[in-house]
Structure 1
Amino acid sequence: MTTKSTLADTFLKYRTRLVRAVGAIVNPDDIEDIVQEAFIKSYEAQLNQEIRFERTYMLKTARNLALNHVTKASSQLNQSMEDMDHLPQELVGHSLEKNVESKERFIHFCRATDTLSPDVKRVFLLKKVYGMRQRDIAELVGISESTVEKHVAKGLMLCARYLADTPQDAAKSGQPGFKSGTGHTQ
């Protein structure tokens, strides 16, 4: 058996484990792409070097790709916050990370807010992350206070539902029993 077919056999044998490992880190919609990319990167690496522990190499590759994906998504979230029009001066320099106890909770929070529409997301973050008053948000965004209240309520409901459907204890510990993508309504 050639080394190339061994790598493919290893991938097929441990594909479910790769999916679980990646699923503990990224959104369900991104899992398959990252798992496939992990195989391609492993295959390309094996063309240039011998990989003695194929399963470990693929798992580490998949995990690193997933972490890079989350970092990129988090960066995009931060960039979209920077793009907001004319934030009040007291918000400059305020760190979102200070409002979250750990990196894992921050990642889950970002994933939850990514499920929101742009309008709801903007209002929700201004209220819940920056602690702005509804009246100030309404003036800043150019909508009624009633609409601000509705956006905040919708954001709370959808984020709470997302976080409740995400088994965070399994995701934190990296346990292989974590099943990503089950029960998500978004």
Structure 2
Amino acid sequence: MAGSGKAGFARMFAEHRATLRGFFTRRGGGEDADDLVQEAYLRLLRAWQGRGEAIAAPEAYLYTVALNLAREQAVKRRASPLGQEELERLATVLGSDACAEQEAERAQRRRRILALLAGLPERTRTVLVMQYRDGLSYRQIGERLGISTHAVKKHVVRGLSECRRAMADEEDAW
């Protein structure tokens, strides 16, 4: 190590801090990575001061200390239950998987509904879209299409009936 004493250790700290932080982060240190880096240097300084002599290979010693700290942290994580932050992070990860699965199911259901709608007569499809997508009442739909509210109701009932029957047939096929 170039330089001796605390000044040399300070330089080494500046040179290796980012590498050690990454080392601890990859080994599950996460938010504690900065604290673990500092602890590694503190242990190095204590060893140097306690020995009263120079450490022959301070960088190797530093990485040995870091490895031991990472092992200690791993043992602590296994021994202790999950903290609140870790539980929240886990819930987020699991929730995102569930959300992705739900999103895939919604997309599949949407494709199926679009296929069913495409198979309906044009007027029936138009009535269903105007009611469910646009939120129009029977009266509003009838006015726009120039048909009676009774005819609108017949198209809605017929369209929903055909869609339900097709979906039931598919479920029975499974």
TM-score bracket, normalised by the shorter chain, equals 0.3 to 0.5
Superposition TM-score, scaled by structure 1 size:
0.43
Larger-Rg structure: 2
Superposition TM-score, scaled by structure 2 size:
0.45
Higher RCO (Cα < 8 Å, 6 or more apart): 1
